[in-house]
Each structure stands twice: as C-alpha cells, then as structure tokens.
Amino acid sequence: MSKKKHSLTKVLFKLLVLVPTLFSLIGKVVTLAGYEAKLAGRSLIVIIILSLLAGVLFATTWLGILAMLFMYLVSLQLSWQISLFILIIVNLCCLAIILCVMNKIKKNLLFPETREQLREVSKIR
C-alpha cells in the first residue's frame, strides 16, 4: 500500500510540474503567433503597396517610355510591329521583377515559425 501511495504521489507531482510547463508552452506559442500576425500584416501592406506600384509602373511605362522608345525604334528603320513587340517584352520583364519580390514577401504570410512550433509540440506526444 505504501508503494502504491508513493507511486501515486510521484505521478501527481509529475502532473503538477507538467501543467505549468504546458501553460508556458501554450503562452509562448500564442505570443509567437501574435508576432507573426503582426509580421503578416506588415507583409500584406507591403504586398498591397507593391501591387499598386506595379500598376502605376505598368501604366506609366506604357504611356511614357513606350511612346519614346517606339519612336526611336521606328527611326532606326525597324517596322512598327517589331518595335511594339520589343517594348512589350521590356514591360513584361519589369513586371516579372515586381512579381518575384511580391512572391518572396508573401512567405511571411504563412506563419512559418508558429507552424514549426506546433509541429514540434505534436511530435512530443
């Protein structure tokens, strides 16, 4: 009977020590999720700004540089079709660069560290 009591006491003691540890772990994961939510919010703002910038750049490129380069290419005795094709390729390259930057930033929206912590917690079981 004494052994059972001693064993039960040991188990209860371990449970009492485990509860604060679990609460601490949950608190840290919630804090991490909060920090990553702020980072995701900032990243979303940057993505929105870059999207607007992409739209403005595309419009101004199309209206300004297109007209100047078109006239230059035509003055070099290129046909107007080839001149337009070259200008469209240049504009698409600028757009591709902006989209690559946006793709890099959007990774912050996926809460990578919080997901990693949750994976580690699920492995403990």
pLDDT tens-digit map of 4-54: 666 777 777 777 777 777 788 888 888 888 888 999 999 999 999 999 999
pTM for the full model? Answer: 0.44
pLDDT in tens, 67-108: 998 899 899 999 989 998 998 898 899 889 989 999 988 887
Q: What DSSP element (H or E) covers 55?
A: helix 2-60
As a whole number of angstroms, the distance between CA 55 and CA 78 comes to 29
In angstroms, the CA 30 to CA 6 distance is 36
